[in-house]
Amino acid sequence: MLAGEMGAAVQMAMRILTTMARVYGAERLLDIEAAHIDGCLYHGDSGIAFAQRLVDGGAQVRVPTTLNVGAIDLLHPDQFQGTAVQAQRAAQLMRLYQQMGCQPIWTCTPYQTSYRPAFGAQIAWAESNAIVFANSVLGARTNRYGDFIDICAALTGRVPAAGLHLTENRRGQLLFQLQNIPDKLLAEDVFYPVLGYFLGQHSGDKIPVIEGLPPEVTEDQLKALGAAAASSGSAAMFHAIGVTPEAPTLAEALHHQPPEAVVPVTLADLRRTREQLSTAPDGRIQVVALGSPHYSPAEFAQLMPLLAQHPIHPDVEFIVCTNRIVLAELQKRGWLDELQQAGVRLVVDTCVVVAPITRSKGGVLMTNSGKFAHYSPGNIGLDVVYGSLEECVRSAVLGRVWRDEGLWRW
């Protein structure tokens, strides 16, 4: 590959990978089974230039490769609120990655769609929430790969043997002990982004171990936890005792070593963290946004009965981000028409905080997503209010924040 015998694109990709391997201190490369690419999201013309150079060099991926969100909903281009030039360039970049043989699922949750890596599988995934989920919940192995390194791995089928690809680097280091958290709150979805945000803030580059989660915690709750932890910090993996596959016991999560530190997690800690997820006081809202990470069928099943009870206020934008595979499932179940009649804007292929989707150019966005809450003020200029799914829906009915006062009061 380095000699150019497999084409110019592969040669460039391998040159970049071997350079990164030296940076990591890796002595060898590993074969991978799959890749997930974030470089298809348009941030500027340099991304197009890089992808075009690969295509011109004959680039074709060597392993099954899925695509993260782009900057435009290709199925519903009228959702895009940017300029015509931005839309054209976003679509151009997405097409270039398809030309390399990548699967156009355009989602940040590949693990809930077309491909789910097996325990122990070596993969090269970009997109922070997907990385955390793959390492933590599935027990697959990936480092935090970013733009351009991801496609280099896909084109060569190789990654540096370093970081979380190696067993010795997957040991839990910091022990987070939940203390006197009410069982009812542990069952609530709204709890998990808050806990994840706390973990991300207090873990640094260490792998957190959580003691005290119920064994019946759902996949979507773990998804939300990991996404929030990767937003507030640099988390690429967590262990949850008795829940995640590499943590059947505390001893196994820690690789039979003592933790570097023990961090108690109290209800007071989590209340303070929940307050940090809001940048505006409770009041009028202009937007409700759900689906970061992309909404799953199970999450839509929770949303549907709430919408049936509460018609959305005409002055509130209600946006749900998901992917094409889930969109097809919604149509199959007969939910697509119901959602549209309720005033919900369904966005696929992209996401509210990486593309100009909201029609409101100011005001307050309410969300149940820790990731949306973290990125909305900086990325799209909207203040944010964090709440549960029910709080979001009932607030959309009123046009102002409604609270379940008993949710965090114990």
Tokens 């919940």: give the residue: 137
Give the DSSP letter string of 347-400. Answer: E-SS-TTTS---S-SSSEEEES-HHHHHHHHHHH--EEEE--HHHHHHHHHHTB
| 36 and 86 fall within a common domain | yes
Final residue of a structural domain among 167, 196, 217: 167
- The pLDDT tens digits for 188-237 are 999 999 999 999 999 999 999 999 999 999 999 999 999 999 999 999 99
Asked, for residue 405, whether it belongs to a domain, the answer is no
- The pLDDT tens digits for 136-173 are 999 999 999 988 999 999 999 999 999 999 999 999 99
| 16 and 135 fall within a common domain | yes
Final residue of a structural domain among 256, 276, 296: 276
What is d(CA 214, CA 229) in angstroms, rounded to the nearest whole number?
19
| 344 and 296 fall within a common domain | yes
pLDDT, mean over the chain: 97
Decide if pLDDT at 310 tops 90.
no
Candidates 177, 117, 160, 158; CA nearest to 141 is 117
Give the DSSP letter string of 290-303. Answer: E-SSPPPHHHHHHH
| 101 and 204 fall within a common domain | no
Predicted confidence at residue 309, as pLDDT, reads: 84
| 146 and 175 fall within a common domain | no
Mean pLDDT of 373-399: 97
Asked, for residue 410, whether it belongs to a domain, the answer is no
Asked, for residue 281, whether it belongs to a domain, the answer is no
Candidates 257, 117, 260; CA nearest to 176 is 260
Residue 249 amino acid letter: T
Asked, for residue 27, whether it belongs to a domain, the answer is yes
Asked, for residue 1, whether it belongs to a domain, the answer is no
Instruction: Let me know the angle formed at the C-alpha of 268 by 263 and 270, rounded to the nearest 5 degrees.
Output: 70
Based on its alpha-carbon atoms, the radius of gyration of the chain, rounded to whole angstroms, reads 21
| 146 and 178 fall within a common domain | no
Asked, for residue 372, whether it belongs to a domain, the answer is yes
Asked, for residue 409, whether it belongs to a domain, the answer is no
Candidates 67, 125, 108, 147; CA nearest to 292 is 108
Predicted confidence at residue 409, as pLDDT, reads: 83
Decide if pLDDT at 114 tops 80.
no
CATH of the domain at 13: 3.30.499.10
| 146 and 238 fall within a common domain | no
Residue pair 231/374 in contact (Cβ under 8 Å)? The answer is: yes
Predicted confidence at residue 91, as pLDDT, reads: 97
Residue pair 21/29 in contact (Cβ under 8 Å)? The answer is: yes
What is d(CA 44, CA 32) in angstroms, rounded to the nearest whole number?
29
Mean pLDDT of 363-372: 98
Predicted confidence at residue 405, as pLDDT, reads: 85
Final residue of a structural domain among 167, 187, 211: 167
What is d(CA 252, CA 271) in angstroms, rounded to the nearest whole number?
31
| 197 and 156 fall within a common domain | no
| 178 and 241 fall within a common domain | yes
Q: What range defines the domain where residue 333 resides? A: 287-398
Mean pLDDT of 180-184: 95
Residue pair 115/66 in contact (Cβ under 8 Å)? The answer is: yes
In this structure, which long-range contacts are made by residues 400-409, counting pairs with CB atoms below 8 Å and at least 24 apart in sequence?
400/282, 400/283, 400/284, 400/285, 401/282, 401/283, 401/285, 401/366, 403/282, 407/185, 407/188, 407/190, 408/185, 408/267, 408/270, 408/271, 408/274
**pLDDT > 70: percent of the chain:** 100
| 132 and 25 fall within a common domain | yes
Predicted confidence at residue 361, as pLDDT, reads: 87
| 121 and 14 fall within a common domain | yes
Asked, for residue 148, whether it belongs to a domain, the answer is yes
- The pLDDT tens digits for 331-355 are 999 999 999 999 999 999 999 999 9
| 291 and 384 fall within a common domain | yes
Mean pLDDT of 45-57: 97
Number of domains within the chain = 3
